[in-house]
Structure 1
């Protein structure tokens, strides 16, 4: 399959501009296929009374759709209970708000999503109604390939609700971008049919339409969720309020044959075992193959998911596994899979499909302005923070733009405000230009009226409020002189109604603000959270800093390893931290178990200093599905106090794991810490300057290959470094003289600066050693510098470590690296 498309209609503007003529029935239905002499119109009449149209506002682009009266999304639903429960696709209502349900007799009801299951793509919507006609569902055992069917739904336009097409069942048990099996049909299915009924010639629902093939040149290839899956989900919705899915705690992979759709006799390979899961406790290992669950063989992921529909969490099952050449049986108790649990949040402007109903004014609560809201005015554009917004009438006759310019002089004079208009707006002919003094109920403003060419009337007003200038600009198309005069007269009071205030108690005032005091972050690694509005991303979507640069949030994502646990991972991280800092320069709170985003996590608080300011990091360790998430908030210890603690608590409270945010192309992201051996060293060789040495592996970054033989090389660890300078142009005496002068100069500048100078014997030659213990910017450090000559080259070798990280282990590593220098390189 190259391309599939869900069948809900994304956006509908007004009525259809183009209708394509087509026959109502794509395939003939023979009279002998109808039971008891029934006719097709009678069947349609019987069935459509159970099918409804669903319309709402798309919520995925709130900056545009909130005030657009003509932008809708729509789909279809099937009545399943006479008290107002309606079944539809989850993807229909996922990004829809202000739901309105229209029954076949033309009655409208406000609706609310009550149950939602993305795994099956099914959801329930509730309306306050009684005496509805619920659909009759067929028995799954009676469905046959080749039998005639009808598809009922709302294709393309809301005006086409309860359209009927016909065809046959083309295939059963199809596996097409779905967790479960689907029914294939050639009945014409189009955008907007999602959630509609696929019915047999008895008027029974056999499936819920969900998607179609949209590859170029392909026709009559649609899919529906079969009745057995529908009944499974409905039963759990009404029993538990959700679908309680069991899980083994495994990540599984299909064989090559199963992936391409060929029959397969192979089991499913275990690619990951979740820590502390039933599978982990049962001793299942990565690389094992799952052959069957109880008596049911599993050769594909769809088969696996279909089998699990038979069970609930806490049920006991017997697995047949293959490990190498051996086959074994394992008993385990299923746990609950909560990874697919998604709460659908319907952000509503009210209970009406027209969110502007009853609104006679518009305004912005953040920037503090309001004005009249004429009928037919549509918001066509708005900046991300709401500082600029444009409205136009539906016919394109006129447009009004409000723009706010911040951080202006609060004591700006009328002259300054007039000059602002001159710079902001260009007109060909000025008709009016003046400063208008306001009254008790109206603000003062600068005014500029003119014409642009022969077809555009222009009026702009500039208002001053505190440190902001508000520009209100009207543009009218004057090509139709008769209409333009009427337009100018009808909207003159709109400009006159503009006020530098916003009355939150006024129920007729619609708030169009787009300003947010938070910065919502969603990463492709399946983790999302909110940060304060002024935080910015740096270097991608995994690092964020505040405006002052003294606080940072970092996300680190790696693949989990079978058998690893949160506790052991957090313990490793704490040990690495404590091993990296000397006593007195670090503190830890100790790892403790918390809940983040509905997932068990480990939290630790690290504090450290290099000798000047203390910094702290709240670290959260989470294992979710097959990935490890380390999320940290770092800040200066002395800053913020309780306010900062609340910010961090607010941040962790917003962390969640939206399933649809995870990039489907993500594969293994190995944790480099799993590869590093702290005791391992590697050899660095500088062929040009004739030396080599042994370094801890993590110190060396190959980096730019052209710089491998550079005269100066530096190898760093946190708070410490080893540098080597090779000089083949100066004599030993010259280098020593420069070095001694530098130390003496430092001593002259600061009486607290102390150093010692000694003669050593190293590398089979005489070496001058300089040793310093000093504070630079209140950061104490130790420095040893060695100057010597070998084979005509003068080497200056420096080892430096801040006292905060100068552990016995680190200092030994630095000195061992120096002692390992070899000068036999040719």
Structure 2
């Protein structure tokens, strides 16, 4: 067995101590202790303990070894002391003659706590070195005059500047808007496996006129004729449903009241991705006046649930927020909170967080005004379902490209009467090229129900044309 590394500990009177690295094994018979021998002789694994000549030679060898070790230790101590003394002498003699490029300015505690910036000389400029008494240059923090010296989230999510408008802090936005945001309660009729039932529904809305007009979502009021409203100050009102647009998901109700607080409508067309949004509403139906914040995540989102391109935000929305106000940093309503994506797709159980949508107020205003005036809003409808067509799919299926694909045709609807079939590819509408579903939607929305729309489409690789009479969204 080979000899192992060994650590000796005098506190254990010559006994073996195991190295933590486990290289040494206790009680190894090849180890011989030459120290702490009370008999004065060598202990070995062979020979006689009474051999006096070997004992004397062992003592002389031990004294020689001790003398050598003492000399080495003394030399090391002297060298260390010399180095320390020399270092102190050099430091104090060198301190007052440090080259300028090695100097650092003295920093007091008060100055060191300030934010600082490095100042670099420009090409051609003389670089003036600070003296030993100089303090580090400090950078002042300029406050935005509009923010009255207060930090706001608007510093990070600033909207486009708008003349005559002042950015507000979140508490200021809430104070301005929240009194005009209401909680709405009603019952809607739903059809289930047991037939028609009345289901209680909670939602939100916001007051747009002092005499009690309130905007909300159509799915909040459903087919109800009246709703119950709670205001932020605790007042309660029964309100009549003026009208609704189920397709655009906008409704208006009316309270019999006066001198009510109102919101200010902004311009959703001036929104930019990344700017601040505040959502105020009635989540879960039990948490009236809840405020959440986020940013504009995207603009012009197209969803099959809405004919209007939507605002996407990450402000937290939940059941009961529907119909509430989405507000910008100026305290203006720029959207009607509508829906939240919960699952990434119909077959997925993975929940999605931070994706909610609102109807842009610019698109909603004409609908709101029409509902107040006539009690309804009609969309021009084509009676078809369409989807985007990719070049890859077109080649695989032998379809014309570019264009949009007709996926379904409502039986007896406008598209059916015009002769359209699933699999047709629409390429122009009233002479304008159609490359996206939004292109077709924008063109048909210029018209009213009863107007005619000229379409060019392909069935397979054969070009055809037809005239489609737009139908109303109100059956």
- TM-score category by the smaller chain? 0.5 to 0.7
C-alpha distance after superposition, 1:177-213 (max 9, x if no partner): 4132222111111221111011111222221111112
| Residue 273 (structure 2) aligned to one of 145, 148, 159 | 145
| Residue 455 (structure 2) aligned to one of 312, 316, 319 | 319
* Equivalent-residue separation in structure 1 for 2:367 and 2:200 (angstroms): 28
Q: 1:57, 1:98 within 8 Å by CA — same for their partners in 2?
A: no
| Residue 33 (structure 1) aligned to one of 152, 158, 163 | 158
Please state if 1:45 is matched with 2:190.
no
Q: 2:242, 2:372 within 8 Å by CA — same for their partners in 1?
A: no
Secondary structure of the residue aligned to 1:191 is coil
Q: 1:179, 1:301 within 8 Å by CA — same for their partners in 2?
A: no
Give the Å deviation of 1:31: 7.0
Q: Give the alignment of 1:634-713 within 5 angstroms.
A: none
Please state if 1:243 is matched with 2:377.
yes
* Equivalent-residue separation in structure 1 for 2:360 and 2:288 (angstroms): 22
Secondary structure of the residue aligned to 1:254 is strand
Please state if 1:162 is matched with 2:281.
no
Give the Å deviation of 1:238: 3.1
Q: 1:150, 1:199 within 8 Å by CA — same for their partners in 2?
A: yes
Q: Which has the higher helix share?
A: 2
Secondary structure of the residue aligned to 1:156 is helix
| Residue 318 (structure 2) aligned to one of 182, 186, 190 | 190
Give the Å deviation of 1:312: 0.7
| Residue 172 (structure 1) aligned to one of 299, 312, 331 | 299
| Residue 100 (structure 1) aligned to one of 221, 225, 228 | 228
Map of 2:429 onto structure 1: 293
* Equivalent-residue separation in structure 2 for 1:238 and 1:295 (angstroms): 35
Map of 1:200 onto structure 2: 328
Map of 2:385 onto structure 1: 252
Please state if 1:123 is matched with 2:248.
no
Instruction: Identify if the C-alpha distance between structure 1 residues 189 and 147 changes in structure 2 by more than 3 Å, giving closer, same or farther.
Output: same
Q: 1:266, 1:299 within 8 Å by CA — same for their partners in 2?
A: yes
Instruction: Identify if the C-alpha distance between structure 1 residues 227 and 37 changes in structure 2 by more than 3 Å, giving closer, same or farther.
Output: closer
Give the number of equivalent residue pairs.
300
Q: 2:334, 2:361 within 8 Å by CA — same for their partners in 1?
A: yes
* Equivalent-residue separation in structure 1 for 2:220 and 2:315 (angstroms): 20
Give the Å deviation of 1:147: 1.2
Instruction: Identify if the C-alpha distance between structure 1 residues 217 and 290 changes in structure 2 by more than 3 Å, giving closer, same or farther.
Output: closer
C-alpha distance after superposition, 1:738-775 (max 9, x if no partner): xxxxxxxxxxxxxxxxxxxxxxxxxxxxxxxxxxxxxx
Q: 1:273, 1:284 within 8 Å by CA — same for their partners in 2?
A: no
C-alpha distance after superposition, 1:776-810 (max 9, x if no partner): xxxxxxxxxxxxxxxxxxxxxxxxxxxxxxxxxxx
Secondary structure of the residue aligned to 1:317 is strand
Secondary structure of the residue aligned to 2:283 is coil
Q: Give the alignment of 1:338-357 within 5 angstroms.
A: 338-339=474-475
Instruction: Identify if the C-alpha distance between structure 1 residues 186 and 255 changes in structure 2 by more than 3 Å, giving closer, same or farther.
Output: closer
Q: 2:409, 2:416 within 8 Å by CA — same for their partners in 1?
A: no
Map of 1:569 onto structure 2: none
Please state if 1:213 is matched with 2:336.
no
Instruction: Identify if the C-alpha distance between structure 1 residues 149 and 286 changes in structure 2 by more than 3 Å, giving closer, same or farther.
Output: closer
Give the Å deviation of 1:51: 1.4
Please state if 1:229 is matched with 2:356.
no
Which of structures 1 and 2 has the larger relative contact order (alpha carbons within 8 angstroms, sep 6+)?
2
* Equivalent-residue separation in structure 1 for 2:273 and 2:239 (angstroms): 36
C-alpha distance after superposition, 1:623-646 (max 9, x if no partner): xxxxxxxxxxxxxxxxxxxxxxxx
Secondary structure of the residue aligned to 1:49 is helix
Instruction: Identify if the C-alpha distance between structure 1 residues 94 and 29 changes in structure 2 by more than 3 Å, giving closer, same or farther.
Output: same
Q: 2:247, 2:473 within 8 Å by CA — same for their partners in 1?
A: no
Secondary structure of the residue aligned to 1:146 is coil
Q: 2:244, 2:376 within 8 Å by CA — same for their partners in 1?
A: yes
Instruction: Identify if the C-alpha distance between structure 1 residues 176 and 335 changes in structure 2 by more than 3 Å, giving closer, same or farther.
Output: closer
Q: Which has the higher strand share?
A: 1
Map of 2:86 onto structure 1: none
* Equivalent-residue separation in structure 2 for 1:233 and 1:98 (angstroms): 20
Larger Rg: 2
* Equivalent-residue separation in structure 2 for 1:281 and 1:92 (angstroms): 34
C-alpha distance after superposition, 1:638-663 (max 9, x if no partner): xxxxxxxxxxxxxxxxxxxxxxxxxx
C-alpha distance after superposition, 1:696-753 (max 9, x if no partner): xxxxxxxxxxxxxxxxxxxxxxxxxxxxxxxxxxxxxxxxxxxxxxxxxxxxxxxxxx
C-alpha distance after superposition, 1:380-409 (max 9, x if no partner): xxxxxxxxxxxxxxxxxxxxxxxxxxxxxx
C-alpha distance after superposition, 1:123-182 (max 9, x if no partner): 111111123344333323212211111001011243x31221111011122234413222
Give the Å deviation of 1:37: 5.1
Give the Å deviation of 1:40: 2.4
Q: Give the alignment of 1:729-748 within 5 angstroms.
A: none
Instruction: Identify if the C-alpha distance between structure 1 residues 247 and 75 changes in structure 2 by more than 3 Å, giving closer, same or farther.
Output: closer
Secondary structure of the residue aligned to 1:320 is strand
Give the Å deviation of 1:39: 2.7
Instruction: Identify if the C-alpha distance between structure 1 residues 88 and 291 changes in structure 2 by more than 3 Å, giving closer, same or farther.
Output: same
Map of 2:396 onto structure 1: none
* Equivalent-residue separation in structure 2 for 1:104 and 1:162 (angstroms): 7
